[in-house]
Amino acid sequence: MKICFICTLYGSVKNHNYLSLAVEDEVISSIGRGLCVLIGISKDDTKRDIEYIARKILGIRLFEDERGKRWNLSVKDKGYEILCISQFTLYHVLKGNKLDFHNAMATEKSEAFYQEFIGLLRAQYQADLIKDGKFGAYMQVNIQNDGPVTIELESPQQEEASEPQFDVV
């Protein structure tokens, strides 16, 4: 599983939406301060990947504290919102000048995987602070951020368990 965090954290206008998603010009989701999380799901991802990424989203220290020390508090510490957007294009491969997405999970399977991921985030944080877009839809994404701060993170690849080798005597 691969994600990109985009922080919408430095704005000074209170109650202003820093990120919004629209489908066919109708806003379907928005947040103020917090994280926009673009989520790519690999064909090889498992429940362990979901758990790892959810833990990192909630725990990674991207925000400054009350003394102005940067990179010291998490989204959970700040009580900020999280807007998740499914983004299969994170698992692209270039073949010449053409994009290939064979490493992304198939749409049918990835939608259930994505919904499980959103459910886990809501269970581990404040459910009303977790927002998402419309899975598989073409959306207009409006992001206003300062910095900019964009962090990419990928879950560790699971090594295939190999059979132990024994010498027969």
Q: Is residue 85 part of a domain?
A: yes
pLDDT in tens, 1-53: 988 877 665 433 333 457 899 999 999 999 988 898 999 999 999 999 999 99
Q: Is residue 17 part of a domain?
A: yes
Q: Is residue 167 part of a domain?
A: no
Given pLDDT bands bounded at 50, 70 and 90, which one contains residue 81?
Answer: very high
pLDDT of residue 16: 41
Q: Is residue 165 part of a domain?
A: no
pLDDT of residue 46: 94
Q: Is residue 141 part of a domain?
A: yes
Residue 168 has pLDDT above 70, yes or no: no
Higher per-residue pLDDT: 68 or 162: 68
Residues 77-84 have a mean pLDDT of: 95
Q: Is residue 168 part of a domain?
A: no
Residue 101 has pLDDT above 70, yes or no: yes
pLDDT of residue 156: 87
Given pLDDT bands bounded at 50, 70 and 90, which one contains residue 103?
Answer: very high
Domain that holds residue 20: 2-154
User: Are 155 and 12 in contact, with CB atoms under 8 Å apart?
Assistant: no
Higher per-residue pLDDT: 112 or 2: 112
Write the Ramachandran bin of 96: left for phi over 0, alpha for psi from -120 to 50, otherwise beta. Answer: left
The CATH number assigned to the domain holding 80 equals: 3.50.80.10
Count of domains for the chain: 1
Residues 90-100 have a mean pLDDT of: 95
Q: Is residue 166 part of a domain?
A: no
Whole-angstrom distance, CA of residue 44 vs CA of residue 52: 14
Q: Is residue 164 part of a domain?
A: no
State the average pLDDT for the chain: 86
Catalytically active residues are 89
